[in-house]
Amino acid sequence: MTAKSTARLLRGTPSTLARLARRLRAGDLVAVPTETVYGLAANALDARACRKIFTAKGRPANDPLIVHIHALAQLSQVAEINAAALKLAKKFWPGPLTLVLPKKPIVPSLVSAGLPSVAVRMPSHPLFRRLLKLTGLPLAAPSANRFGYVSPTTAEHVRAGLGNKIKSILDGGPCTIGLESTIVDLRDPRHPRLLRPGVITRAQLERTLGVRVLAAPSAAKAKTGAQLAPGLLARHYSPRTPVTLHAKLSRAAAQRSPAGEAWVFLAQPRVVAGKNIFWLDANGDLPGVARRLFATMRRVDALRFTRIHVELARGKGLADAINDRLRRASAV
């Protein structure tokens, strides 16, 4: 799939973390574990360092990066804060929530893709937190995958995609959440808008803020180009194999299908078995589905079926986030 890997998977020992912090301060890239997906990190205040992220990922310059911080005090260094942002930060940080706020001049415009706003998140993964603290800098980090492909949820996934572009991958084990953070636009605190659904749901944000949060533009709308949030392309997170979505997968259809087509159920199906049958969580529990979604899509994609049939999640909240990723994976 890729040229020979030169990247090393590193355990987060104190001496390794100290070395990686020095690398980051010197302007190098380091792939890092987060609770959502692995990120490709660089000093967010150094445009030259951040340019390397775009090059390594093959990411277009109009797709802005998320800036990661270790402490709340760093938020006002990079963004104009407001009361709504502080409420959400106090409730959900460290954790899988990204806030879009007006940008401070210290953040290079390359990071925000020329926008006057910046996306900021305080991650909860203990190794990434230690690294952030050691560097003492905000770190820009998009997902550590080749642009457009499925996001990485293990250090091996990062190596498979970017192994010949970067030197160091900090291995923090499989990501516990498995979907990218919820993104909320808080530039106008009275009219917050969800830009990307995630495990922190719109209902949770509304309860904390006490105001209505506008829904994310649907993948279908994004496809027509209308209301396209920057970087939120209709086609994204995509395996190479074509994906067909189903409100409910029928066991009978799976059994009748040609062996060259893969079937990915939410829960382990009873009776049907075969090399083309997969499931995301034994019981179909949504946190498990979310955690294994990207790893399963990668595994099935590598088996070169002619088509991947996937069952959509049912319900609201986390189901919306899972289905958002599936719709983007199936967009053509």
Name the packing angle between helices 126-135 and 14-25 (round to 10°): 50
H or E stretch including 299? helix 286-302
Nearer CB in complex with ligand TXA: 183/308? 183
* Coil vs helix vs strand at 267: strand
H or E stretch including 182? strand 182-185
8 Å CB contact between 309 and 262: yes
For residues 216 and 325, give the distance between their C-alpha atoms in angstroms, rounded to a whole number: 13
Residues that bind ligand TXA (CB under 6 A): 34, 36-37, 39, 63-64, 66, 96, 98, 100, 112, 115, 117-119, 121, 123, 141-143, 180-181, 183, 195, 229-232
Query: How many CA atoms lie within 13 Å of 40's alpha carbon, on the beta-carbon side?
Result: 32
* Residue 123 Cβ vs ligand TXA, minimum distance, rounded to whole Å: 6
Nearer CB in complex with ligand TXA: 123/163? 123
* Residue 270 Cβ vs ligand TXA, minimum distance, rounded to whole Å: 34
Nearest residue to ligand TXA by CB is 231
* Coil vs helix vs strand at 90: helix
- State the binding partner of 238 from Mg ion, ligand TXA, none, CB within 5 to 8 A by kind: none
* Residue 43 Cβ vs ligand TXA, minimum distance, rounded to whole Å: 15
- State the binding partner of 154 from ligand TXA, Mg ion, none, CB within 5 to 8 A by kind: none
For residues 227 and 138, give the distance between their C-alpha atoms in angstroms, rounded to a whole number: 29
Which are the contacts of 33, defined by CB distance < 8 A and separation ≥ 6?
Answer: 125, 127, 128, 155, 170, 171, 172, 173, 175
Report 106-165 residues binding Mg ion (CB under 5 A): 143
* Residue 127 Cβ vs ligand TXA, minimum distance, rounded to whole Å: 13
Nearer CB in complex with Mg ion: 143/153? 143
- State the binding partner of 163 from Mg ion, ligand TXA, none, CB within 5 to 8 A by kind: none
- State the binding partner of 12 from Mg ion, ligand TXA, none, CB within 5 to 8 A by kind: none
Footprint on this chain of Mg ion (rule: CB under 5 A): 143
